Structure 1
Amino acid sequence: MIELLSDSPTTIAGAIRNAITNNISTKARQRAEEGVRYYNFEHDILKNRIFYVDDNNNLAEDKYASNVKIPHSFLNELIDQKTQYLLSNPVDVSSDDDELNDYLKEYYTDDMQLTLQELVEGASQKGFEYAYARTTSEDKLMFQVADSLQVIPVYDSDNNVQRILRYYTDTIVKDRKQVKLTFAELYDAEKVWFFVAEDSKAFKLDPSQPVNPRSHVLAIADNEQTDEQRLAGRSYGVIPFYRLSNNKAERTDLEPIKALIDDYDLMDAFMSNNLQDFADAIYVVKGFQGDDLSTLRQNIKAKKSIGVGEGGDVSIQTVNIPTEARKTKLELDRENIYKFGFGYDSSQVGDGNVTNVVIKGRYTLLNMKANKTEVRLRSFIAWANKLIIDDINRRYNKKFDVKQLTVTITREMLINENDLANNDKVRAETRSTDMQTLLAVAPRLDDETVLKQITDAYDLDFEEVKAKLGEQDYSQAPVPKELTGGEDDGAEG
């Protein structure tokens, strides 16, 4: 794709079609599409067909056998679980400068939170996802997700990304016929080219763009300035795309557990098939008057009756379906799906004593996976923050620095409220005992030491309490009953 590094629009246009075709056929693209399918419950089980050997010894599809197709949405749960564990609480980007904090609120909105969630979800499904920066009609920077299936990085000879090709399709009606339009945008650190192609025709510069190529941001003013002034633009100084990798190898969250999910789907589906097909019995037939066994199967299923010849006979035999073995296999598959998918299995019950220590233990695998994702997400936020600070400085003529920002990501985890209440009660009782012990030995200590111990225990400001007491002899002052745990009005030190 070296042609995409050219500055000639003709050369670039001639290379776009091949770049798109090659991207569609890559293994990474196929894995990404598979991850998207499974996230949307489109499992391989939906393509399942049942075959048998007919009377002519030919392999034929059995269209009368039960063929239950049940996709189980493990991947959807695991990806949403990771995303919400990380981002159910909004990412907090703040500064010690109150003025800068006010400006940041314009950028870190609900839309930005949604972008972060979609970015993590997309990377988990496809192995990697793109976010891109753009400027709104209000001249403010914002970020959106770009489908990585339609984004192609362009590398130089040193394997560094020099440009990004983004493409998408649309259908219009032209001359009473539907025409498929493919739009392509090629970005570098300073400008962007726009191309369009009808159906399978060659790409050409998009005539609908007033300036092509142009800067990343084009400001069109409604006044009497010259065309050069009226169409003046500016650039971000970097390629306005960021690639968020799901992991170092850019593997999807599906790959480690796909075989387990497929096995679970099959086990569950065929147990349903067995229960339906063998709900009544197996018919052993002698002297059957019919064309073949296929007709017999159809008659039994549809009419619940068959005909036999002279001396014929029908005997009925039941079948014991190994349901316990299948249930055990399903449980084993489920356990391995959460284990190798690094997820939290909320169906775990245990011995009923679910303390916060037990809950944290069950979150261990999910926490490990979230740690890897958070490191990469913070890298994107750092990239975005640099662009945000530059945009604030441009819009408000300021000189803020990105080093002034602090990023806080607070994870959301289930907790046992009763366990917390019991812990608080134990801590309060322990503190009360400590206070009673302190007051018992207070006569042997100086007043300032006693006061310091009390303020430290209750997280009070020693100097402030001391100042409020003034000249009062606090060793003889009434002690609040909440410090002693008693019902008396006071205690003497």
Structure 2
Amino acid sequence: MNTKQLLSDSPKTIAEGLLSAINQDRAARAKEKAREGVKYYEGQHDILKNRVFYIDDNDVLKEDKFASNIRIPHQFLTEQVDQKTQYLLSKPMEYETEDETFYSYLEEYYDEEFQLFLQEMVEGGSQKGFEYAYARTNSNDKLCFQVADALCVFSIYDDTNELKRVCRYYDKNIYQEDKEEVITIAEIWDDKQVWFFKSEKGKAFEFDSDREMNPRPHILAVNQEGKKASRNYERIPFYRYKNNKKETTDLQPIKALIDDYDLMNAFMSNNLQDFAEAIYVVSGFQGDDLSKLRQNIKGKKVVGTGTGGGIDIKTVTIPVEGRKTKMEIDKENIYKFGMAFDSTQIGDGNITNIVIKSRYTLLNMKANKTEVRLQAMMKWINEMVTADINRRYKTSFNASDVKFSFIREVMVNENDLVQNEKVMAETKQILINTILASSSRIDDESVLRLICEQFELNWEEVQSAIETQSYTQGLAEGTDPVEVNVDGDTTQQVANGTGEAD
């Protein structure tokens, strides 16, 4: 894509290059694949375009509009994208920092709305191969984030492949002379400001002079007195989230398999529909051509024959088992190459936690790749959030002091967990009994150390507690009598430890 004109500081030059750049972006192969991924996520598979043809009596290929043409899309991609997203983000993202005040400020930003934003980013990136995060300041003067549709956004790089600007374009309905018209709005963002352009009816773009301020800073506010205030983020407020290194969709590895599964299922349904009745072999037919014969048999169930003619009824064996086997193979490969968890797996009935974890292996691998990308995006987001906190509260926090983690939840066999705990408890009891049985051969200190190791206790703390307990118990039970001197007389102290003398 030629974007040199879009790097200019002249609005006229930018406007001249916008239409060509946007048309090239729409026609780019990456955007075609992205639109394809979105369609399959929404259930708009290629099977819905399927048509049935036949060759008529004149050897002409024609569409058979009377044949069954059942078209059923199977939304494996929808399941796998949602599965990955919920596996990673069903639990809120966790963040931690040693500064409690800083943590309380972060809570204002990383709330339920932000969790929804993360889910939409992962879903969009999985469907399109990439997605854009957009930072903006809301009416409460607080930074927030939303998804910018990657189908309508593209990055602008210079000759050194360094990101300089981002273009976002979208259609908008307006009314002119009581007629509704569609105009295309284009925005060019850099690290300081944003330019606005518009195009009517597919014409060349022109600088939008109707806007009060164009170009304008990233944030523009007006107070109650009508005074304007503006500032910028000191960076481009767009982040390109990548689904993987090559920015491919989750559909790409499994599209051919899904299409084959759809075809196998659809044509098995068509065969069952078309061959639910017998095939009629007509002899001595003197009526219409075979095309009309086909329609008459299907529609009226009746056909006329000439003198000496007849109809022989034939039945057809449909290869159901073959198609079912092929569909099973396709399904297995869809989950395998889609790196997803197949919840329909049965196995041998021995569902232990080890078996469950093994079935999550591929999904874990895919989630690991996604989590690394999310961590990189969170670094960019947290830098902007920390800067916004420092601006609003006049603080000087450091973004690197915050750590993020994503908690995954895997279903487990509770009976397996209880059984494991029981075995561990029994094993520990056997060890304790063995230690106590050997206590006569080793000293008390060694016995105490071994017992503390089994219960993961601190030996020094336990030893100190025992000594304190022995001393307190000795005072309570009484001590040996000692002689004290009271007013120069030697008397014997009573043995109750009260210090009273006769």
Written as runs of structure 1 = structure 2, the 5 A alignment for 1:79-98 is 79-98=81-100
Distance 1:254 1:455 in 2: 55
Distance 2:448 2:213 in 1: 75
Written as runs of structure 1 = structure 2, the 5 A alignment for 1:270-285 is 270-285=267-282
Written as runs of structure 1 = structure 2, the 5 A alignment for 1:373-392 is 373-392=370-389
Written as runs of structure 1 = structure 2, the 5 A alignment for 1:168-317 is 168-207=170-209, 209-223=211-225, 230-317=227-314
1:342: which partner in 2?
A: 339
Q: Deviations over 1:437-491 (max 9, x none)?
A: 23333344444444444444334455555555453359x9xxxxxxxxxxxxxxx
| Match 2:417 to one of 383, 400, 420 | 420
| Match 1:67 to one of 66, 69, 77 | 69
Please report the RMSD computed on the Cα atoms of aligned residues, expressed in angstroms. 1.9
Which entry has the higher C-alpha Rg, 1 or 2? 2
**Per-residue deviation, 1:122:** 0.9
Q: Deviations over 1:277-326 (max 9, x none)?
A: 01121110112353211222212212222111211101111111111111
Distance 2:169 2:443 in 1: 78
**Per-residue deviation, 1:432:** 1.9
**Per-residue deviation, 1:362:** 1.4
**Per-residue deviation, 1:21:** 0.7
User: Percent of pairs identical after alignment?
Assistant: 57
Structure 1: which amino acid aligns with 2:195? W
Distance 2:215 2:444 in 1: 79
Distance 2:117 2:439 in 1: 59
Q: Deviations over 1:163-207 (max 9, x none)?
A: 000011122232121210211111111111122222223333334
1:403: which partner in 2?
A: 400
Distance 1:133 1:463 in 2: 55
1:42 aligns with 2:44: yes
Q: What secondary structure is seen at the aligned counterpart in 1 of 2:47?
A: helix
Instruction: Count residues with an aligned counterpart.
Output: 470
Distance 1:441 1:402 in 2: 57
Distance 2:200 2:266 in 1: 45
Distance 1:453 1:209 in 2: 80
1:17: which partner in 2?
A: 19
2:55: which partner in 1?
A: 53
1:26 aligns with 2:28: yes
Distance 2:470 2:359 in 1: 54
| Match 1:142 to one of 141, 144, 148 | 144
Distance 1:195 1:471 in 2: 82
CA pair 425-6 structure 1, distance change in 2 beyond 3 A: same
Q: 204-213 vs 243-252, which deviates more? A: 204-213
- Is the 1:84–1:412 Cα contact (8 Å) retained in structure 2? no
TM-score using structure 1 length: 0.91
Distance 2:448 2:400 in 1: 41
CA pair 174-450 structure 1, distance change in 2 beyond 3 A: farther
Distance 1:438 1:211 in 2: 83
Distance 1:302 1:85 in 2: 51
Structure 1: which amino acid aligns with 2:407? T
Q: Deviations over 1:49-80 (max 9, x none)?
A: 00000111111100111001011101111111
1:486: which partner in 2?
A: none
| Match 1:318 to one of 315, 320, 326 | 315
Q: What secondary structure is seen at the aligned counterpart in 2 of 1:219?
A: strand
**Per-residue deviation, 1:37:** 0.7
Distance 1:442 1:175 in 2: 101
- Is the 1:123–1:129 Cα contact (8 Å) retained in structure 2? yes
Distance 1:471 1:20 in 2: 81
Structure 2: which amino acid aligns with 1:249? K
TM-score using structure 2 length: 0.90
Written as runs of structure 1 = structure 2, the 5 A alignment for 1:448-487 is 448-460=445-457, 462=459, 465-466=462-463, 468-473=465-470
**Per-residue deviation, 1:118:** 1.0
CA pair 155-266 structure 1, distance change in 2 beyond 3 A: same
- Is the 1:94–1:104 Cα contact (8 Å) retained in structure 2? no
Structure 2: which amino acid aligns with 1:242? Y
2:163: which partner in 1?
A: 161
Structure 1: which amino acid aligns with 2:336? K
Q: What secondary structure is seen at the aligned counterpart in 2 of 1:315?
A: strand
1:106: which partner in 2?
A: 108
Q: What secondary structure is seen at the aligned counterpart in 2 of 1:272?
A: helix
| Match 2:5 to one of 3, 6, 20 | 3
Q: What secondary structure is seen at the aligned counterpart in 2 of 1:386?
A: helix
CA pair 170-449 structure 1, distance change in 2 beyond 3 A: farther
Task: Give structure 1 regions of 4+ aligned residues with deviation exceeding 6 angstroms.
Answer: none
Q: Deviations over 1:255-278 (max 9, x none)?
A: 111111111110110011011101
Distance 1:472 1:141 in 2: 59
**Per-residue deviation, 1:331:** 0.7
Distance 1:105 1:320 in 2: 66
Structure 2: which amino acid aligns with 1:243? R
Q: What secondary structure is seen at the aligned counterpart in 2 of 1:308?
A: coil
Distance 1:263 1:426 in 2: 49
Gaps of 5+ in 2: 474-502
CA pair 27-442 structure 1, distance change in 2 beyond 3 A: same
- Is the 2:287–2:306 Cα contact (8 Å) retained in structure 1? no
Q: 65-74 vs 232-241, which deviates more? A: 232-241
Distance 2:441 2:139 in 1: 74
Q: What secondary structure is seen at the aligned counterpart in 2 of 1:288?
A: coil
- Is the 2:15–2:205 Cα contact (8 Å) retained in structure 1? yes
